[in-house]
Amino acid sequence: MRRYLYVLILLLVAAPLVAACGSSSSSSSGSSSSSSSASSTSATAATSSPASASPAVTSSPAEVVGTPAPSSSPQTVASPGSGSLSVTDATGTTITLSKPATRVVCLVGECEDIMASLGLKPVAVNDTYSQDPHLWGDAAKSIAKIGGSFMSPNIEDIAKQTPDLVIGIANADEQLRSAMKPIAPLYITNPSSYQDSIKDLENIGQLTGRSAQATAAAKKFTDELASYKAKSPNNVSTVLIYGTAPNFNTFTEGSLTPSVLDQVTPYPIPAPANAPNASDREPGALPGSLEQLLKINPDTLLIASFGGKQMSQQLASQPVWKELKAVKDHRVYEVNPNYYVFGRGTISLGLALQDAMSKLYPSTFGTPTP
């Protein structure tokens, strides 16, 4: 009796293997031949994960989709021949397309920001940042929605959109890399400075064949930054915190938005000693402490509150809060987290810059434009 059981179970297990072999030969991208043998599995796995947890893996592996894939040789770096577009994302993975991407799925606000800068529209998004009036206005309503949650977007919805390119953020979407392989190449961003954000802009511009627009948008931002820098009195310090009370977070100079603010006004929190991890959710951010805020005691305080509740109100009842110089001078400002935290692109950074400057130096820069 037991023998029959074993045979039955063997059959049950063998059947999917056969199915796997069958499906892999008929699937378009060659990367799913992983189940046929252990060696090709490790090869595919090695190319799919940029983890350098094992010291042997050092070079950045290549992801080649769109051209007939080489079978299972590991770490094949695609030679960028003529007509192929190749860039490297925040995790060191190389993404190569044979022709410019037209259907782009955005899993993070920075993607939408970039697409708007390039004059394009994504085919689907998974957040609400796309509805911001500065991007596409009413036209944004026609963009399809990816279900799931921010931390785990629905992959089937993404597949349904048949994208050429998917853009996500480390920490939420890096884990989906192997799942994305049969669908589209995955470009991961995780900017810790505005230069990173501009690099993402240029990379995506290249991948969509819109390098000219990318360069123009980048120039627009850097010009705006330079002009603010020239005019700024540069004597009002500020700190940007975000999240919800009582366990909020503090951005440091090693974070994206302060890298912009730092150019035009003193930002007195240096980046933490250890370099930001590639998958840090908010690079350079530290768990916030009132003691640290008190020690630094900035002239002004910018607060990006999540979830609707204003942190300044929640913290107002705490006596130590009232000791802060910024609170005493009534220079605590609630700001839009879309521009200061979630946007991450040159449009939102520009809006944040405008907003911050008008709040910090109202006599020089006047009231902010809506």
Partner 1 sequence: MTTPAARINRLRIAFLMLAGVVGIVVVALAFLMLGPPVVSPHELIAIARGGGSSFNRIVVIQLWLPRLVLGLLAGAMLGLSGTLLQDTMRNPIAGPELLGVTSGATFVVAVITLLHLPVDLTLVPWLALAGGVAAGTLVVLSVGRISDPIRLVLTGAALAALLNAGIFVLISYGNTNDIALLFLFLVGSLANRTWNYVTMVLPWAIVGIPAALLCGRALNLLQLGDDVAGGLGLPVGRVRLLTLTIGAALVAAVVAIAGPISFIALLAPHLARRLLRTSDSRQVLPLSALLGALLLTAADLLARRAFAPLDLPVGVFTTVIGGPILLLLLRRQLGARAAAT
Partner 2 sequence: MSVTRASPAAPVSPPSAPRLEVSPAARRFPVLLVGGLIIVAVLVVLHVGVGPVYLSPRQVVLALIGHPEIPYQHTIVVELRLPRALIALAAGAMLALAGAILQSIMRNPLAEPEMTGSVAGAILVTVLWVGFGESGVVPAVWYMPLVALAGGVAAGLVVYVLTWRGQSQPGRLILTGLLVSAILRSGASIVLLVHQAAIGSVMLWLIGSLNGRVWSDWGILWPWALPTLLLGLASARWANVLQLGDETAASLGLRVEWARAALLFLAVALAAGAVAIVGGIAFLGLVAPHLARRVTGADARRVFPLSMVIGAGILVGADIVAQVALPGIQLPVGAVVAVLGAPFFLYLLRRRLR
| DSSP H or E stretch at residue 199 | helix 194-207
Work out the burial of residue 131: count CB atoms within 10 Å of its CB; fewer than 13 is exposed, 13-18 middle, 19 or more buried.
middle
6-25 residues in contact with partner 2 (CB under 8 A) are: 6, 8-9, 12-13, 16-17, 19-20, 22-24
Best CA proximity match to 50, nearest among 63, 60, 41, 40: 60
249-308 residues in contact with partner 2 (CB under 8 A) are: 277-281, 285
34-63 residues in contact with partner 2 (CB under 8 A) are: 34-35, 38, 41-42, 44-46, 48-54
Q: Is 310 in the site for partner 2 (CB under 8 A)?
A: no
Work out the burial of residue 338: count CB atoms within 10 Å of its CB; fewer than 13 is exposed, 13-18 middle, 19 or more buried.
buried
Best CA proximity match to 280, nearest among 304, 255, 303: 255
User: What does each C-alpha distance from 300 to 45, 296, 323, 324, 368 come to in angstroms?
Assistant: 49, 11, 13, 9, 17
Stretch that binds partner 1, among 34-42, 79-87, 92-100, 306-314 (CB under 8 A): 306-314
Candidates 149, 317, 367, 369: give the one binding partner 2 (CB under 8 A).
149
Best CA proximity match to 304, nearest among 353, 255, 248: 248
Q: Is 103 in the site for partner 2 (CB under 8 A)?
A: no
Q: Phi-psi category of 92—alpha, beta or left, where left has phi over 0 and alpha has psi -120 to 50?
A: left
Q: Is 272 in the site for partner 1 (CB under 8 A)?
A: yes
List, edge to edge, every strand of the sheet that includes 62-64.
62-64, 94-97, 85-88
Q: Is 1 in the site for partner 1 (CB under 8 A)?
A: no
52 binds, among partner 1, partner 2, none (CB under 5 to 8 A by kind): partner 2
| 332-334 and 300-305 strand pairing | parallel
Looking at the Cβ atoms of 127 and 164, the one nearer to partner 1 is 127
Q: Is 160 in the site for partner 2 (CB under 8 A)?
A: yes
318 binds, among partner 1, partner 2, none (CB under 5 to 8 A by kind): partner 1
308-337 residues in contact with partner 1 (CB under 8 A) are: 308-309, 317-320, 323
6 binds, among partner 2, partner 1, none (CB under 5 to 8 A by kind): partner 2
Phi, psi of 239 (to 5 degrees): -135, 140
Candidates 18, 151, 230, 273: give the one binding partner 2 (CB under 8 A).
151
Exposure of 51 in the CB half-sphere (CA atoms within 13 A): 10
Instruction: Dihedral sign for Cα 290, 296, 299, 302, please.
Output: negative
The amino acid sitting at 197 is S
Strand partners, 86: 96
Tell me the C-alpha distance between 49 and 63, whole Å.
Answer: 10
Candidates 159, 216, 296, 327: give the one binding partner 2 (CB under 8 A).
159
163-202 residues in contact with partner 2 (CB under 8 A) are: 170-172, 174-176, 178-179, 181-183
Q: Is 102 in the site for partner 2 (CB under 8 A)?
A: no
Q: Is 274 in the site for partner 1 (CB under 8 A)?
A: no
Task: Please tell me the count of residues contacting partner 2 according to CB under 8 A.
Answer: 66
Looking at the Cβ atoms of 222 and 279, the one nearer to partner 2 is 279
| 85-88 and 62-64 strand pairing | unpaired
Task: Please tell me the count of residues contacting partner 1 according to CB under 8 A.
Answer: 32
Binding site for partner 2 (CB under 8 A): 1-2, 5-6, 8-9, 12-13, 16-17, 19-20, 22-24, 26-28, 31-32, 34-35, 38, 41-42, 44-46, 48-54, 91, 147-149, 151-152, 154-157, 159-162, 170-172, 174-176, 178-179, 181-183, 277-281, 285
User: Which residues lie near partner 1 (CB under 8 A)?
Assistant: 149-152, 243-249, 272, 281, 286-292, 294-295, 306-309, 317-320, 323, 342
